[in-house]
Amino acid sequence: MIDIHFEDVDPVSLQIRSISKWIERIIESESCIQGELCYIFCSDKYLLDINKKFLNHDYYTDIITFDYSENGIISGDIFVSIERISDNSKQYEVSFDYELLRIVVHGVLHLLGYKDKNEKEKIKMTFMENSCLKLFEDVEGI
């Protein structure tokens, strides 16, 4: 089950049904089961406050993932800054929707155990993001 919430930002349009099926396929492809996933879309300030309070980091980020997965059941809270998505889409010259999907799947990949702390991990994470985006593109078109 996927819950979507918006905190201190205007709601953005999402293809909820398509995204839910896509995420479920990704999780199943890693031999796991989808549990409860909660996406909270918010502002930079909201996410900065979470970053400071829970991670002792004083900088902006596009995503923070809290992992509650157990025994192969993938669950978690995924906080996403709409402002970072907008800025990143401009920086990387991609559509807002494309960057939104990249960040949505990035959070799921973290829950599946993928990391991005060092260069080798970042390369693998980017490869996985691109593979997942290709899957969505093939099915839904973005």
At 79-109, the pLDDT tens digits run 999 999 999 999 999 999 999 999 999 999 9
pLDDT score at 1:
87
As given in the structure block, the two tokens for residue 50 are 């979470």
**How many whole angstroms separate alpha carbon 134 and alpha carbon 142?**
9
As given in the structure block, the two tokens for residue 42 are 């918010």
Q: Which amino acid is at 66?
A: F
As given in the structure block, the two tokens for residue 115 are 């990391």
Does residue 58 contact residue 46 with C-beta atoms inside 8 Å?
Answer: no
pLDDT tens digits, 33-44: 999 999 999 999
Q: Would you say the pTM of this structure is higher than 0.75?
A: yes
Confidence of residue 49 (pLDDT cuts 50, 70, 90): very high
**CATH H-level superfamily of 2-140:** Metalloproteases ("zincins"), catalytic domain (3.40.390.30)
Residue 137 backbone zone (phi > 0: left; psi -120 to 50: alpha; other: beta): alpha
Please, what sign has the CA dihedral across residues 18, 41, 126, 2?
negative
pLDDT score at 140:
64
pLDDT tens digits, 111-140: 999 999 999 999 999 999 999 999 887 766
Confidence of residue 76 (pLDDT cuts 50, 70, 90): very high
Q: Which amino acid is at 4?
A: I
pLDDT at 141 over 70: no
Provide the mean pLDDT of the chain.
94
Please, what sign has the CA dihedral across residues 132, 133, 138, 141?
positive
Confidence of residue 15 (pLDDT cuts 50, 70, 90): confident
